[in-house]
Amino acid sequence: MLNYTTYHHKSSTEWVTFVHGAGGSSSIWYKQVREFKKHFNVLLLDLRGHGKSKVAFKDAFNKKYTFDVIVQDIVQVLDHEKLEKSHFIGISLGTILIRNLAEKYPNRVRSMIMGGAIMKLNFRSQLLMRLGVIFKSVIPYMLLYKLFAFIIMPRKNHKQSRLLFVREAKKLYQKEFIKWIKLTTEVNPLLRFFRSKDVKIPTLYVMGEQDYLFLPSIKKIVSEHKFARLFVIEDCGHVVNVEQPLVFNTNTISFINQSINSSVRGN
């Protein structure tokens, strides 16, 4: 089972589950935990091979991961903690996992907050991923990861996010890094399906104004999906929860409370 941490609120029955991206860990939410646990029960988890989640022996020899398999890891934790429903907050590739979880288990998801969401890979990002696969056996994976981080987060004000993700990525084994790189190169059909279908769960996309690779596609999705909203943070790049934590926390907590109130009125 994945490594995870829970924080229990003395009165709230609402749970918020945080899902990090590829190469990160639950530690990237350190600017959220203190504020969120004042309002809700909190679940932080490390995806397989990340943070303190060691790869199970039976999975160590698997050459390929799928998004369904990774989602099942998350559901296993929910089941173990007997959490029927949760609000989910993701960053970067974590948003794909949350959206897939909502597709497979819609009754488990109260709302979705998608930070630095990836719902379409443009030509530049597809080329980046394919180069990673081509050179994975030639170039040390940390050099590749640093290159990826710089392309996605190139500005001076993105430096803290770059350094954080590079630091966490150092905890990955090279074989594990390669599995996740391969996973991202095969995501296009899944993202195409997500863009075409409104999952009918309250969704807030929180994007940085400078997230040039992914913001344009999110604007289009929000214009077409009835249950989706967009909040753009000025002077901010891809990792919105790290670069602008106060703005991120204020708006996401407000969104969750609005979702709760709407649900109560609906009942």
Considering only residues 174 and 103, tell me which one the structure prediction assigns the higher pLDDT. 103
Nearest-angstrom CA–CA distance, 20 and 92:
7
Which of 72, 80, 78 shows the shortest CA–CA distance to 56? Answer: 72
With contact defined as beta carbons under 8 Å apart, do 242 and 159 qualify?
A: no
> What does the alpha-carbon distance between residue 111 and residue 204 come to, in Å, rounded to a whole number?
8
pLDDT at 94: 96
Residues 39-72 have pLDDT tens digits of 999 999 999 988 899 776 555 556 678 999 999 9
Q: What is the mean pLDDT of residues 168-191?
A: 75
Calpha distance 14→147 (Å, rounded):
39
Are the beta carbons of 80 and 6 closer than 8 angstroms? no
Which two structure tokens, joined as six digits, stand for 38? 């004042």
pLDDT, mean over the chain: 88
**Helix/strand/coil (H/E/C) assignment for every residue in 160-228:** HHHHHHHHHHCCCCHHHHHHHHHHHHCCHHHHHHHHHCCCCCCEEEEEECCCCCCHHHHHHHHHHCCCE
Mind listing the pLDDT tens digit for each residue in 240-250?
Answer: 999 999 999 99
pLDDT higher at 235 or 152: 235
Strand order in the sheet with 41-45: 4-7, 41-45, 15-19, 86-91, 109-115, 203-208, 228-233
- At 100-149, the pLDDT tens digits run 999 999 999 999 999 999 999 876 666 666 666 666 666 666 777 777 77
Q: What tokens appear for 240 in the block?
A: 């919105």
